[in-house]
Chains A and B, each alone.
Chain A
Amino acid sequence: MSTAASVKRLVVTDPDLCVGCMSCMFACARRFPEAGLAKSAIHVRSVGGFERGFTVIVCRACKDPPCAKVCPTNALVKRKGGGVILYASKCIGCGNCVNACPFGAIQWNFDDNKPVICMHCGFCINYCPYGVLALEEIR
């Protein structure tokens, strides 16, 4: 039997519940000692006008992540259970990972010229009053 702590991933329960307030995006950046949106790993945008609702883009925590495959410096390494971890000191800011993700789930930090990678910590969930986001156990 495994005694390791469970691994979780961030999921979008129902994007139709999203009001587009961006509180999750701002929360993500507050994990660091800063405000703004430079380090936000979540992206919310309208589907094509506010009336059609929103799409909430988060890292899917792929078991076989395409972003890691295209990283020329191995700055992105597989995370246990799914997703990737960024070793920023190795990253050369080529942006291959951004293009490789079919969901567009890798955001870009223009201040540092590096990708922003979701850690699946779930901090953002505390700031979504509408229950759009949740943490799910990875089996």
Chain B
Amino acid sequence: MIDPLLTRVLYIDLSRRRFWVEDRKDLFEEYLGGTGVAVKLLAEEVSSKSDPLGPDNAIVFAIGPFTAMYPMASKTVAVFKSPLTGNFGESHAGGRTAIAIRMAGYGAIVIKGASETPIYLAIHGDRVYFRDASALWGVRSTYTVGRVLREREPGSGLRTIIRIGRAGERLVRYACVIAESYRHFGRLGLGAVMGAKKLKAIVISGKRKIDVKNPHKYRQIYNEIFDKAVKSPAMKKYHDIGTPVNIRALNKIGALPTRNLKSAKFEYADNISGERIAELRLARRTACSHCPVACIHIASIREQYPHEPYFYTTRYVSYDYEPIYALGTMLGVYDIDGLLRLLEAVEVQGLDAMSTGVVLAWATEALERGLITIDHTLVELKWGKWENYVKAIKYIVDQPNEFYKALALGAEETAKKYGGLDFALSFGGNEMPGYHAGPATHIGYLIGVRHSHLDNAGYSYDQKLIGKEYPPPEKVVDDLINEEAWRQILSSLVVCFFARGIYKPELVVKALEPLGYSYTVDDIIKLGYKIYVEKYKLKLNLGFNLNKLRVPKRILETPTPNGVISHEFIEKALKYFGKKINELINEFT
């Protein structure tokens, strides 16, 4: 007995303004949910010919059997064709997204077509409304859009408010989608896909019961997981300082990309560390729905108005490790308030913090080297000068000249035009995450299905190897594939990757049982490989070519805690990966 409402897929065609529901029990039975189901649904909608910014692109949001059932299963998977890479795009967000979709009575939502005029979608249970958003289009800040929809739509406490900013409207290829002001479908340009569809926002709400096959056992396992969530030291780390605890840790080992990775150590790391921000600016910690860990850290920005002595503004912005890396260390920004202003600027515009930081780091170095001049950048981009970066962020969205038009396409596209590819830090077209820990880190970015550090955690693999003998490239690749395959299960259930230390295969199998699923540990691990292969097949169908992957020279120049990376090692790994992926495709198809 699988929850009959989980297998319902809501289809929305923006071109015809129609919606309908299909029961896709077939997919949910075979692939659980989340990324497993989403990949199959996307494969039905897009091809290598689909324009990522055309009506023929589709967006799939999917949740899974653990959503709303167990703690820390608070993520929604979004898949689409990425306008940044032109290939498979996948991004995950928490907030209230996942619970709202499940409570509205769906396991996935497929959005296709494009509207001619700006609209937003309001999905309240079985009712779907296409509402005019022409007045919301062009609104300066995504915070304002959130506030308007909060007051206009019902379902407070039981809803998600997903929206794009001006960056998405103006098709910046790394525009993000914001949920509940502080969580993001950050990577690979989902914001631009929504912008191209003239879809400003989606509100989803609902409230219903979910029948459980074995309630007694369900409650027992629930308690076991809840206990681990609130007591385990691994989760405490996320709760206390949060992900920015990594700033100090990575700086200490020399794996913290700094000033466009000219260095992997930041001399001012302590100024903007998680500990420092918590001490001086932390305003509140909040949680995603159904997650007692509460890792969302919100800082306050308190500013005095220059013309009024006793007039202050207090604003809020969330902070995490990756945005601090991208807009802090990568840009040499060490002023805590300057950093928070940069985080706020990308939030207001609806940009992916990581890509924005890496793009601006490239531009700063290109200016430094004279590849471009201030006529291009309009403001002096200089390490640490955050005021100018705030202006540049707005220029990326406004695109006042050819240079910023290029910058809005990403680091790689800009470098192709202006030179400086060697230090354009993108992998498969996606800008680099915040780790320079060794060869596996970068091999992970290169071979990962979405070129994200979260695909296979090469950065974590490397950190465990410091001071030890480094394994051969074949072993590294095998281990990374193994990790990536398992993560397909986590993101099909869908549980947060932060809880990966708790949701081990044995527990996953046990927790599925009272919900009506019978798997063995072996089955579930194999299913991970199957989903991984399905995803890679889609990636290849959409035109991915392993031989065309570019290895940015910069990563071979700056030493890692595991030494200087040799190009030969990476080449060997990629060659082996090419062979290996073909074997896996044959085995699992």
Query: A residues touching B (Cβ–Cβ < 8 Å)?
Result: 19-23, 26, 29-30, 33-39, 43-46, 48-51, 53-54, 110-111, 127, 129-130
Contact = CB atoms under 8 A, between A and B. Distances in A.
Interface of B: 68-69, 71, 99, 103, 125, 143, 146-147, 150, 156-158, 180-182, 207-212, 215-216, 218-219, 222, 226, 230, 283-294, 296, 298, 316
Given A36-B68, A45-B156, A22 B215 contact: no
Given A19-B287, A21-B289, A34-B215, A26 B298 contact: no
Contacts of A20: 286-287, 289
Given A50-B182, A50-B286, A51-B284, A34 B212 contact: yes
Contacts of A37: 68, 103, 158, 207-209
B230 A129 contact: yes
Given A19-B286, A37-B158, A48-B150, 12 more contacts: A20-B286, A22-B99, A22-B287, A23-B292, A34-B209, A35-B209, A35-B210, A38-B208, A49-B316, A50-B180, A50-B182, A54-B286
B209 A19 contact: no
A39 B209 CA distance: 7
**5 A-B pairs with least C-beta separation:** A45-B157, A33-B215, A21-B287, A51-B316, A38-B209
B215 A46 contact: no
* Interface hub of B143, B208, B285, B291 (most chain A Cβ within 10 A): B208
B160 to A, nearest CB: 12
A70 to B, nearest CB: 23
* Interface hub of A20, A53, A127 (most chain B Cβ within 10 A): A20
Contacts of A39: 209
Contacts of B287: 19-22
Contact of A34 (B146, B210, B288): B210
Contacts of B216: 33
Nearest to A129: B230
A127 B181 CA distance: 26
B68 A21 contact: no
A43 B125 CA distance: 18
Nearest to B230: A129
A36 B209 contact: yes
Given A33-B215, A36-B68, A44-B157, A21 B210 contact: no
A7 to B, nearest CB: 26
B271 to A, nearest CB: 24
5 contacts: A33-B216, A38-B208, A45-B158, A49-B146, A51-B284
Given A19-B294, A23-B226, A129-B230, A43 B212 contact: no
Contact of B157 (A21, A33, A43, A51): A43
A39 B215 CA distance: 15
B291 A21 contact: yes
Contacts of A43: 157
